[in-house]
Amino acid sequence: MNRIFEEEHDLFRQSFRDFAENRMKPHFSEWEKAGIMDRQVFADAAQYGFVGFNLPEAHGGGGSEDFRFNTIIGEEFARAGLGGAGNSMCLVNDITTPYFSTYCNEEQAARWIPGMARGELITAIAMTEPGTGSDLAGIQTTAIRDGETYIVNGAKTFITNGINSDLVIVVARTDPDAGRNGMSLIVVERGMEGFERGRNLDKIGQHSADTAELSFTDVHVPAANLLGEEGRAMEYLAFNLAQERLSIGITGIAVAQAALDWTIEYVKERTAFGQPIASFQNTKFVLSEVATEVAVTQPFMDQCVMKLNAGELSPAEAAMAKLWGSEMQTRITDRCLQLFGGYGYMSEYPIGTAYVDARISSIYGGTSEIMKTIISKDVLS
């Protein structure tokens, strides 16, 4: 596989493929039933450089700034059919890690990053609230400064890694009267008094990615846990959301490719009316259309990865990647499942899990409607 990858990436891919197949896949059904992945997996992955590879070398990380490694992990999770578990680990590598790598001061980096690099400190980010989804400006959680502490009050929901997490980046209002300029990032740690985790939410898909409600009642958080500067949360979020949205888009096309591969194998083996399903014209047409859609999309996603590496990926391009990749993921898993017939509805086949897992992709990270709004501003500027 060439595309945008070099020899070191190919070696990394093979190593991670072995890890996913041998360390994760045998336990995936257990995690799906339990609604949570074994947290030891993060530590095991870190030993091989699959977690922490993009954290600063000075504090035990791998020091990589090459998003191609993140891309490979996302693609291999899709190939192995490890949807929810993959989402849980990719959230750490693709979404939360950049906040710590970029905005930690030296004291914070020394305190948190070594444990993150070892896979011992699992991270999450808490943006969404029960009354606010994609509208981050409507966040009501507060973190009011009182001497050398912030007193945090509020609630968050739909938080991936909400149960397993040890460090939660909480988006909160530090100045309730300053609007968008009054929000900051506060790191709340496991065990802080007043920090409670609600139920592990019962979702229709992505079961092995624990997703929880979080509540904060007069949680006294040291002022030293302010990530970056006070009042700049929206700026930080805007910068990092581009990578998050690209990550979701990459997962979209990776799952679409995996669904295509599974379906090709299935229709060649399965027979109906005395002949392989692959021999029917409808099967050929559907697979031709799906293969074309994947082939046409892949170069754009790869281009976005290289732009991200160069610091040139625009919010509109990230929104395009997220919009198209997530919508395509849902569309293609649906079309491929149809060719499996009744067996596609059975959990023993990965296409069924991929189908239900796909539905969230056009919602989290910003809904498709929000992506269209972002893109339209660029188009009409």
The model's pLDDT over 54-65, given as tens digits with 9 standing for 90+, comes to: 999 999 999 999
**Confidence at residue 261, expressed as pLDDT on a 0 to 100 scale:** 98
- Domains of the chain plus CATH, in order, are 7-121 (1.10.540.10), 124-230 (2.40.110.10), 234-379 (1.20.140.10)
Place of tokens 């709004």: 373
Question: Which ranges constitute the DSSP H helices of the chain?
Answer: 7-19, 28-34, 40-47, 67-80, 83-90, 97-103, 106-117, 233-269, 281-309, 315-340, 350-358, 368-379
264 has pLDDT over 90 = yes
Q: What is the pTM of this model?
A: 0.95
Residue 197 — φ and ψ, nearest 5°? -105, 130
At 295, is the secondary structure helix, strand, or coil?
helix
Residue 155 gets which letter from DSSP?
A: E
The DSSP element (H or E) to which 200 belongs, if any, is strand 195-200
At 194, is the secondary structure helix, strand, or coil?
coil
Place of tokens 């031709």: 288
How high is the mean pLDDT of the chain? 96
Query: What is the β-pairing status of strands 211-222 and 226-227?
Result: unpaired
1 has pLDDT over 70 = no
Question: Across residues 81-95, what is the average pLDDT?
Answer: 96
133 has pLDDT over 70 = no
Q: Which residues contact 152 (CB under 8 A, 6 or more apart)?
A: 141, 142, 143, 170, 172, 186, 188, 194, 195, 216, 218, 219, 221
Distance of CA 125 to the CA centre of its chain: 11
134 has pLDDT over 70 = no
Question: Across residues 65-94, what is the average pLDDT?
Answer: 97
Question: Across residues 75-83, what is the average pLDDT?
Answer: 97
Question: Across residues 326-349, what is the average pLDDT?
Answer: 96
**Confidence at residue 183, expressed as pLDDT on a 0 to 100 scale:** 96
The CA distance from 368 to 95, in Å, is 19
The CA distance from 159 to 200, in Å, is 10
- C-alpha dist (Å) from residue 351 to 35, 38, 67, 332: 19, 23, 27, 10
Residues designated as active site: 244
131 has pLDDT over 90 = no
Question: Across residues 283-308, what is the average pLDDT?
Answer: 98
Q: CB 73: neighbour CB atoms within 10 A? A: 27
The CA distance from 3 to 17, in Å, is 18
Question: Across residues 291-300, what is the average pLDDT?
Answer: 98
The DSSP element (H or E) to which 149 belongs, if any, is strand 149-160
The CA distance from 195 to 29, in Å, is 30
Q: Answer for the pair 37, 208: CB distance below 8 angstroms, yes or no.
A: yes
The CA distance from 62 to 57, in Å, is 5
The model's pLDDT over 328-339, given as tens digits with 9 standing for 90+, comes to: 999 999 999 999
